[in-house]
Amino acid sequence: MKRKLIIFWLLTLILIGGYLVKKDTYTYSNLDDQQSKQLLETLIPKTIPQKDLTLFWNTISDYNNMMKKDQLIKTKMSTSKIEYPAKELMDTWYENNLPYYDLDSKLLSFRLFNHYLKLQSDSIFNISSFDLDLIETNPYATLSSDQFKLFTALYAPIEVSDSDQQQMINEIKKTWKSRTLSFHPPEQLSLINLFIYDKSHNQVYIEQSGLLFYTATDLYYLEKYAPIYPYQLIKFKTKQELIHYLKKCLPVKEDLIILENNEQLDIH
């Protein structure tokens, strides 16, 4: 079953890869050199607990050490098309005979951002079986009881009554509030979530997550596009550039909703 699931992921990634690499170039890093790691260290808020930081850096190091250097494309901040050999990356992962998959975008983002989420409920909500399997099997995805409750409150699908985008955004915010979930990030950090509308079930769900770091001159976006893909830090000059990139990340554009924390991502 797991093998079939990852083959499905591969086919999806190959399809999506075409959307990522058309004409656009980006300044980015796979965090495989000391310079880019030091840059990210300066971006990460000092208030994140050491345990989460240790798990975060260890999973990046393990992934990069496992993969062949020519598969990581770049080892420093440089401009290039973001184009990865998905099948070769998957083959390399399987060669290591690990009983789990690497982190996805949600668990990566949550690892650093969960400290800035608050919950006033003990409820646990249904999340995807893929995320649940990662949490249960990947040692770098381990969550405490309180973190797991936060994760489910954030990432469980949300029922919507209307296909109007603004109405769906309102219902996302209303549902998070009803789950007693609230956001309290520092000014230099935001959680970015890309929602997709599932018409057959009248739900929206988060397909991709990432972390947005603000500096005086630039924006940096940290993401793990899919479990088999490398970790990457991308530099943008403006939010317009970021939004343009995010809208190309998924083949579904018409119903795509992008939130920054609990508000719609805008260009201001």
pLDDT tens sequence across 194-245: 999 999 999 999 999 999 999 999 999 999 989 999 999 999 999 999 998 9
| pLDDT cut 70: percent of the chain above it | 87
pLDDT of 6 > 90? The answer is: no
Output the pLDDT for position 133.
Answer: 96
Output the pLDDT for position 85.
Answer: 86
Mean pLDDT of 138-149: 97
Q: Rounded to the nearest 5 degrees, what angle is found at the Cα of 110, between the Cα atoms of 122 and 104?
A: 120
Q: Rounded to the nearest 5 degrees, what angle is found at the Cα of 189, between the Cα atoms of 188 and 190?
A: 135
Mean pLDDT of 95-111: 95
pLDDT of 10 > 80? The answer is: no
Output the pLDDT for position 76.
Answer: 66
Output the pLDDT for position 232.
Answer: 94
- Between residues 87 and 21, which one has the greater pLDDT? 87
pLDDT of 130 > 50? The answer is: yes
pLDDT of 75 > 70? The answer is: no
Summarised one tens digit per residue, pLDDT across range 152-207 is 999 999 999 988 999 999 999 999 999 999 999 999 999 999 999 999 999 999 99
Summarised one tens digit per residue, pLDDT across range 11-59 is 444 444 433 444 567 788 999 989 999 999 999 999 999 999 999 999 9
